[in-house]
Amino acid sequence: MHYLMFTGGESNELFDIMFSDLNKDARVTMESGLPQHDLKGLYKLHHARSLNRRRPAPFRYVWESSRMEALLRRTSEAHRDLCLIFNNFSLPYFEPSQIKAWQRRYGVKLVLCFIDRLSSYFAAEARMYADNIRFDAIYSYYKKDAQSAGYDYFDCYYSKQELPESGEKAATYFWGSDTGRRPMVEDIYKRLNELGISSRMGICYAQGEEPRLEGITYDKPKDYGQIMKDIASADVLLDIIAGEGGVSLRYYEAVVYGRKLISNNPEIKNMRYYDPESMLLIKKAQDIDPGFFEKDIAIKPYDGGFSPSCWVNELDARFS
């Protein structure tokens, strides 16, 4: 089986990093859905999420129908068995009628993976498509979503990178959107200050009014390359959620890069690689024990199990 993965309409640094192992996997061809032409602005308007989230705008296939048709034809001629993989960002760049036509014409398998919660704004269009297209497999990274929707489950798609040279050291690190996490993050910051433990924290798209805590950076997004540098400089990562927020990327990074983890998410106890020695589960900021920072722990070596190539192995077994 050969896999043609559509990565999305535009380059996404985090997505490119997460799936980068597949660039070295001979079973997979990575393909962006964004055509190269002078009307890119009009193209993006036609595909705007606000315009398409309730019903797909018609005639979107005209933008690149000939290019994509040629791509499908070439790939299917080169590979007897072909599977098309979409994620919840890339799928809405196509029309259901177009995908169904490829399914009939080339006999391809169809796979969809959600890399966001099903309740997320970023998943709404793909969920609408999933109700109209017969996919051979649909995956969610979040087990409860997979169970509730009747989808398959694969916990992460993350390709290990070489960490850059570390910058200024900080014992703990958190960076992420607010999404209701701000009160907990600020309480943890205060607790760490009480304990004399250094931290680097940032809250993007902060909700609520002033005051804002001095020492926390607000509303300044970072590119993932800088986040990688921060991870290299930290000993402990903070995996903070609000409500049933899924599992944040900090959990996977802690496993992959051998960092300790502090989390308020009880679901990590059911995750692969959960280690009670290197992962501290808390309910409130006051649960943070300074001894966790002082204890010398031999963190278990990471074996590559989060790699998207492992997911492709699973698809191979499924479709063989």
Residues of the chain with confidence (pLDDT) below 70? 9-11, 33-66, 245
Query: How close are the terminal C-alpha atoms of the chain, in Å?
Result: 8
Query: Of 254, 3, 240, nearest to 112 (Cα)?
Result: 3
- For the chain, percent of residues with pLDDT exceeding 90: 61
Q: Hey, what are 76's tokens? A: 């299917």
**pTM, rounded to two decimals:** 0.84
- Long-range CB contacts for residues 244-251, cutoff 8 Å, separation at least 24: 244/144, 245/117, 245/179, 245/180, 245/181, 246/117, 246/141, 246/142, 246/145, 247/141, 247/142, 247/155, 247/271, 248/176, 249/158, 250/173, 250/174, 250/176
pLDDT value, residue 15: 81
How many residues does this entry show for the chain? Answer: 320
pLDDT value, residue 179: 86
pLDDT value, residue 221: 85
pLDDT value, residue 31: 86
Q: Hey, what are 296's tokens? A: 């010398």
pLDDT value, residue 44: 62
pLDDT value, residue 246: 74
pLDDT value, residue 61: 54
Residue 255's φ and ψ, nearest 5 degrees, are: -65, -50
pLDDT value, residue 9: 60
Only one residue has tokens 């907990």, namely 184
Only one residue has tokens 């990562």, namely 237
pLDDT value, residue 92: 81
Peptide bond into 211 cis (omega under 30): yes
CB 138 within 8 Å of CB 202: no
pLDDT value, residue 231: 95
Q: Tell me how far apart the alpha carbons of residues 46 and 30 are, in angstroms, rounded to a whole number.
A: 23
List the domains of the chain with CATH numbers: 2-159+308-319 (3.40.50), 170-294 (3.40.50.2000)
Strand order in the sheet with 109-114: 28-31, 2-6, 82-87, 109-114, 137-140, 152-153
Q: Is residue 220 classed exposed, middle or buried when 0-12, 13-18 and 19+ CB atoms within 10 A define those classes?
A: exposed
Q: Tell me how far apart the alpha carbons of residues 219 and 315 are, in angstroms, rounded to a whole number.
A: 39
